Amino acid sequence: MNISTSSTNSINLNALAAALDNAARDRHEIDPLTPQHAFTLEQAYQIQRASIARRHQRGEQPIGIKLGFTSRAKMVQMGVDSLIWGLLTDAMLREDGGTVDLSDFIHPRVEPEVCFLTSRVIDRPLTMLEAAGYLEAVAPAMEIIDSRYRNFKFTLEDVVADNCSSAALVVGAFSDNIRDLVNCGVAMRFNGHAVQLGSTGAILGNPLRSIVHASQLLSKAEMALPAGALIMAGAATAAEVLTPGLHVSTDIGTLARVEFFTAAGAHQ
């Protein structure tokens, strides 16, 4: 009896993963899943894994992980108040200083982030004191998020299943100022005008704490992160809607500027 219930469940989870993956590929929005399909947070992560497995089957390579809702500003903007995490692939990378084709997305938004590069395998829960010792470098970054759900509205389970709205990321130049990030100014600008201002302190009090959380989440999921992987610490401010014709830049403390341009692109 139990066996048949769980196998029915796993078929449904795969079907939901396929629906989300197809929505991302075809750039069409779908209704949130949870009103119709009751699944737990744990099952939401299974859907996430299954949708990422489809990307890996198409040849995309894992490059690291991202945390979400590590700042109050993001929790308030999206009405969700739990820390979440998602998986990143190389197909999501966009070039610093390059042009981002908005027709790759449904209703993209951008948010300023801090990105860490690991120097050692993370395969157990780390303490705050240990975190920096597992890092090679830090870079200013921006995440382009794009919910597959209609009107960018979702529950916690929905957004986790949708790989935490992951769509693309632009990572700036790396430096070794890992310990100097506790309270740095963050300014995201559209065509030179500030659209979001904040502080790295908004990210869990100190972005380094994202490494502690990431190590705990990985360990709970029985996963390890190799050396040379990216960890996106989560947005310091709310996200802004992207439109064509923008020069988008982010400055964080003394880190190099990270920037990109937006274009309407070929699919529209």
Q: Give residues in contact with ligand OOG (CB under 6 A).
A: 68-69, 74, 78, 111, 143, 145, 147, 159, 164-165, 234-235
Residue 153: closest CA among 256, 77, 257:
77
Place of tokens 């120097």: 119
Q: In what order do the strands lie in the sheet with 247-252?
A: 99-101, 258-263, 247-252, 185-190, 193-199
Number of residues that bind Mg ion (CB under 5 A): 2
Q: How far apart are CA 201 and CA 1, in angstroms?
A: 50
We find the least distance from the C-beta atom of residue 250 to Mg ion, in angstroms, to be 12
For the bound state, the minimum distance from the C-beta of residue 246 to ligand OOG, rounded and expressed in Å, comes to 19
The CB-nearest residue to ligand OOG is 68
Please report, as a single letter, which amino acid is at residue 123.
D
68 versus 207: smaller Cβ distance to ligand OOG: 68
Whole-number Cα distances in Å, 113 to 55, 96, 187: 24, 14, 11
Instruction: Report the nearest approach of ligand OOG to the CB of residue 165 (Å).
Output: 3
Of the candidates 22, 52, 38, 76, the one whose C-alpha atom is nearest the C-alpha of residue 221 is 52
Q: Which of Mg ion, ligand OOG, none does 212 bind, CB closer than 5 to 8 A by kind?
A: none
Least distance from C-beta 266 to ligand OOG, angstroms? 25
State phi, psi for 48 to the nearest 5 degrees: -55, -50
Residue 230 in tokens:
């990216």
Between 74 and 189, name the residue whose CB sits nearer to ligand OOG: 74
Partner touching 248 among Mg ion, ligand OOG, none, CB below 5 to 8 Å by kind: none
CB of 156 to Mg ion, least distance (A): 15
CA distance 252 to 69: 19
Which option in Mg ion, ligand OOG, none does residue 207 bind, with CB closer than 5 to 8 A by kind? Answer: none
Residues 234-253, mask of contacts with Mg ion (x by CB under 5 A): -x------------------
Q: Which does 96 bind (CB under 5 to 8 A by kind): ligand OOG, Mg ion, none?
A: none
Q: Which of 197, 176, 204 is nearest to 252 (CA)?
A: 197
Residue 117 near residue 230 (C-beta atoms within 8 A): yes
Task: Decide: 54 and 18 in contact? Cβ < 8 Å.
Answer: yes
Residue nearest to Mg ion (CB): 143
Instruction: Compose the 206-235 pattern: x for residues touching Mg ion by CB under 5 A, - for all others.
Output: -----------------------------x
CB 75 within 8 A of CB 111: no
Cβ nearer to Mg ion, comparing 159 with 225: 159
Give the one entry of ligand OOG, Mg ion, none that residue 78 binds, where binding means its C-beta sits below a cut-off of 5 to 8 angstroms depending on kind.
ligand OOG
Least distance to ligand OOG from the beta carbon of 253, Å?
18
- Of 135, 133, 136, 159, nearest to 148 by C-alpha is 159
Q: Give me the half-sphere count of Cα atoms (radius 13 Å) on the Cβ side of residue 264.
A: 1
Among 21, 96, 104, 143, which residue sits at the site for Mg ion (rule: CB under 5 A)?
Answer: 143
Which positions touch Mg ion (CB under 5 A)? 143, 235
